[in-house]
Structure 1
């Protein structure tokens, strides 16, 4: 063990040290690291407030951790770190992270559990710092909530670098101490589910085609045996189902469409009505003939975010062995401007016989969803929840703060809202007024118009009203996830890139539904 005068080293977040001559990377190669949390000092508190795990560790090292934290500067602010070396021979590197106030809980103004969010943020920062030092094995302080700590670790370390030669150090994380390992594992599964959605959304569109998307999900779900059945429906089946709206979008691309259908049988009662998830699966959206501007078009590889999140939530539900039945439906295709593509003014027919005037080919997601929602009713669903990166108007309305939810069911809304408070991946209820329905049902050539009379006003609301025309189920919710599709720096425990939101909220919602046997 190194002398105490050599254990501190200045980091970017403001900790201090002098006299440490060995490079941190050389010192940590192949060794373990430890991430510990520390709370803000309250007014009457004069000393460092460590977590339970931190307090135990401090006793093991004879009070050196507390002493060095006191000597190294003011109290660590939330999300800030200090790195210490040589405190314990089993952990050459120890990073201490600020957790904010110990008394934090549900913040009703923010609509989330602030304590859980603080833990996710702190742990992710600590684990990334260990990764930068090329530490390969990291033990993580549960910080009072094992699940949130696991989510922070697994979400914080994810980065899509599959196509790069130079990759970040692979870091294995585990729970420090002997706390609730089941809760930690649950957090790992929740986070891995969101990371699967991030992977699918981030990968280039020439890698994740409709066919490849379906193959990846088949591989992921193959491990669950008889509890999962996956059907990859091809063009002939889609034609038999008379999904003319979906096919009208798909015909603009040389990539063949796929309708992915997943059945998870988790309930002991096979006849129990399923929860049906529906996800928009446009694996690349050029806008079609109504071509998008070239700037930023590359991000449209993630226009299948709805399909990615709902399918990943089902993977997680199967991993958790949730006791309910779930069916996932994902119409997958590209929206491209070839010679067969939809033209503005064309009229197409959906599965339920309604005709649609396509005045803007870039409003294609609602065409896919129209047919998928019709099909969802075939399963006598307990509830239908669809997710889609549907409108830029939703990004304008809410930005990346929350997913917009349009629903005809207060019971469904309550479950989604409560789930989002737990996950920190928030939802916000939006209006589903008849006012908007009138705008899409007045069309010169057809029963419906795909953009409505006033294309620039209330775009997210008119899109939801359009979908409502294909729903008769009493419990239906449409999640417009366009605003939360990507992350710059808004969610501190996610790196920049596609976010995979709101996969964990969908998973938590399904978990809550599995324990609520009341239909309404």
Structure 2
């Protein structure tokens, strides 16, 4: 899909256009112009009740007398009160209507539509991201590919000449984020008999081809054992697929010595729960337990497109948690890479064991800050549902930066407490910590557990168990929180 920014009068446009109308018979500026060019065709639609301007309404007109092949008239609700969620849905509905025709190019005059508390940049960027999402499909493993063919090849955003630079930036960043989301979805949707830790490592290595700023290295179980990453390795014991830790270094800061931002992604390519076996119902969805690694991989792809002047290290903690005669057990005591010991009470609380050693490992990079991303707890889904990722950090400054990025990108997050009092639930009679702290505050105690391994740098934790994938008829990866994290990195440059 090609995106172009032009400063063009509607009277000079031929082909296909998108214009908006509002409730109470109000027309956007483009719709007013078009109404004049077409001898009142838009006004006639409103008078006859064919469109009332309500959100989601759509009428397609043929206006050869105005040199236009098609006009997609879109209902935009009450003027000035359209929120981000409604706008994104409006764009998706519009694209579905355009895709149903043989239109190859369309001029988008919805750039005039005001989104609450947003400017033109966000109007265009969210449109680009929404179009990318509308075109996404995962049919890699179908013998008969989807027949949802679309002739649409180009969308032209129409803006004032003074807004050209701002609009082009929005297109560039929207495309990069759209690519990152797609890459994250593709990896996450991949079946677990294909997407194992080695597959994650292969995808990481391919990033070298995308930018000269990348360097990729992979640790296998032998190297992990030499480093004392015993908690990570314990989780992998029941699987025939070797655990692999993929380190993706992106170095593009003007100061080569600048400390890197480190993103750590939990990469459980399948989680059966180990000896603490999960229920059979919906266990197939545990291929999404590598959603954290998928999102970090997506962010690194977006970075390759954006070329941000930063040093960023993405770490994909690949592993499988399966039960067999060699699997780790409830009751085992593990010595982590940090030297702290953990009593295993539940082998299905494995993500924190993989992450605690990975968080210790990344100390060697002397990071400016570390953000881990993980489908960590069902408790976070209970607390926040599928709309907000859970955010925890002992640093108010870092938490606020992430919340700001979440708000701006509309990739929502909610901060949960990380108080010292929650450590009481992790006490063990036989080790430094237990790996679970009971049902109460389960998402928080998981974050508190990880905090014990992050004392040497500024750190935040994103629990995406509720936001990484959808269930039911729309089952599939969401690509979250690629938008949030990429926006966070863009903000670091600013």
Instruction: Give the conservation status (yes or no) of the 8 Å contact 1:409–1:474.
Output: no
1:169 to 125, 132, 149: 149
d(CA) in 1 for partners of 2:226, 2:15: 58
Q: How far is 1:377 from its partner? A: 1.7
d(CA) in 1 for partners of 2:65, 2:206: 43
Superposition RMSD in Å: 2.5
Q: Write out aligned runs for 1:3-402 (5 A).
A: 34-41=17-24, 47-50=25-28, 52-55=29-32, 57-58=34-35, 61-85=38-62, 92-104=69-81, 115-133=83-101, 137-144=105-112, 145-164=123-142, 165-167=144-146, 168-170=148-150, 171-177=152-158, 180-225=167-212, 227-402=213-388
1:468 to 441, 446, 451: 451
d(CA) in 2 for partners of 1:283, 1:91: 50
Q: 1:239 to 1:54 in 2, by over 3 A?
A: farther
Gaps (5+ residues) in structure 2?
1-13, 113-122
Q: Which moved more, 1:64-73 or 1:316-325?
A: 64-73
Instruction: Give the conservation status (yes or no) of the 8 Å contact 1:283–1:301.
Output: yes
- TM-score, structure 2 length as denominator? 0.87
Q: Are 1:431 and 2:409 an aligned pair?
A: no
d(CA) in 1 for partners of 2:250, 2:403: 24
d(CA) in 2 for partners of 1:281, 1:319: 23
Q: How far is 1:346 from its partner? A: 1.0
Instruction: Give the conservation status (yes or no) of the 8 Å contact 1:122–1:152.
Output: no
d(CA) in 2 for partners of 1:55, 1:148: 25
Instruction: Give the conservation status (yes or no) of the 8 Å contact 1:358–1:449.
Output: yes
1:481 to 435, 460, 464: 464
Q: How far is 1:140 from its partner? A: 3.7
Q: Which moved more, 1:466-475 or 1:476-485?
A: 466-475
- TM-score, structure 1 length as denominator? 0.83
d(CA) in 2 for partners of 1:78, 1:496: 26
Aligned residues: 462
Instruction: Give the conservation status (yes or no) of the 8 Å contact 1:408–1:474.
Output: no
d(CA) in 1 for partners of 2:36, 2:204: 48
Q: How far is 1:191 from its partner? A: 1.7
Say which SS state the counterpart of residue 155 (structure 2) adopts: strand
Say which SS state the counterpart of residue 166 (structure 1) adopts: coil
Q: Could you tell me which residue of structure 2 aligns to residue 5 of structure 1?
A: none
Gaps (5+ residues) in structure 1?
1-30, 42-46, 105-113, 516-520
d(CA) in 2 for partners of 1:343, 1:118: 48
Instruction: Give the conservation status (yes or no) of the 8 Å contact 2:390–2:416.
Output: yes
Instruction: Give the conservation status (yes or no) of the 8 Å contact 2:219–2:245.
Output: yes
Instruction: Give the conservation status (yes or no) of the 8 Å contact 1:194–1:503.
Output: yes
Q: How far is 1:137 from its partner? A: 4.9
d(CA) in 2 for partners of 1:303, 1:48: 48
Q: 1:209 to 1:136 in 2, by over 3 A?
A: farther
Q: How far is 1:488 from its partner? A: 5.5
Q: 1:375 to 1:116 in 2, by over 3 A?
A: same
Instruction: Give the conservation status (yes or no) of the 8 Å contact 1:53–1:177.
Output: no
Q: 1:391 to 1:318 in 2, by over 3 A?
A: same
